Amino acid sequence: MALPALEIDKVDVGFGPEGSRTEVLKDVRLKVEANEFVAIIGFSGSGKSTLMNLLAGLQPADCGEVRMNGQVVTEPGPERGILFQNYSLLPWLSVFGNVELAVRQVFPEMTKADRRAHVQRYIDMVSLSGSEWKRPGELSGGMRQRLSLARTLSMRPEVLLLDEPLSALDALTRANLQDEIIRIWEEDKRTVVMITNDVDEAVLMADRIVALTPGPEATLGESFPVTLDRPRDRTTLNFNPQFKELRNKVTRYMVDINQEAKMLRKAVDVSLPELTPYDFTAV
Which residue among 1, 2, 109, 137 contacts other proteins (CB under 8 A)? 137
Q: What b/e sequence results for 200-221 when a residue is b if at least 16 CB atoms lie within 10 Å of its CB, and e otherwise?
A: bbbbbbbbbbbbbbbbebbbbb
156 binds other proteins (CB under 8 A): no
Using the minimum distance from each CB to other proteins, give the nearer residue, 14 or 78. 78
Which range binds other proteins by CB under 8 A, 65-73, 80-88, 178-186, 256-264? 80-88
Q: How far is the CB of 168 from other proteins (least distance, A)?
A: 13
Q: How far is the CB of 13 from other proteins (least distance, A)?
A: 17
Tell me the C-alpha to C-alpha distance, in Å, between residue 238 and each of 14, 27, 47, 94, 204: 40, 36, 30, 39, 10
| CA triple 196-128-176, angle to 5 deg | 40
Q: Cite the beta strand spans of the chain per DSSP E.
A: 6-15, 22-32, 37-42, 63-68, 71-72, 80-83, 159-163, 191-196, 208-212, 220-225
Which residue among 99, 102, 128, 166 contacts other proteins (CB under 8 A)? 102
243 binds other proteins (CB under 8 A): no
Which residue among 82, 95, 153, 166 contacts other proteins (CB under 8 A)? 82
Which range binds other proteins by CB under 8 A, 9-17, 44-52, 71-79, 211-219? 71-79
Most distant pair of Cα atoms in the chain: their distance? 94
Which range binds other proteins by CB under 8 A, 88-96, 114-122, 215-223, 259-267? 88-96
141 binds other proteins (CB under 8 A): no
Note the helical H segments in 70-208: 95-106, 112-125, 141-154, 171-187, 199-205
Q: How far is the CB of 51 from other proteins (least distance, A)?
A: 15
Contact residues for other proteins (CB under 8 A)? 56, 58, 75-78, 80-82, 84, 86-88, 90-93, 101-102, 105-106, 135, 137-138, 155
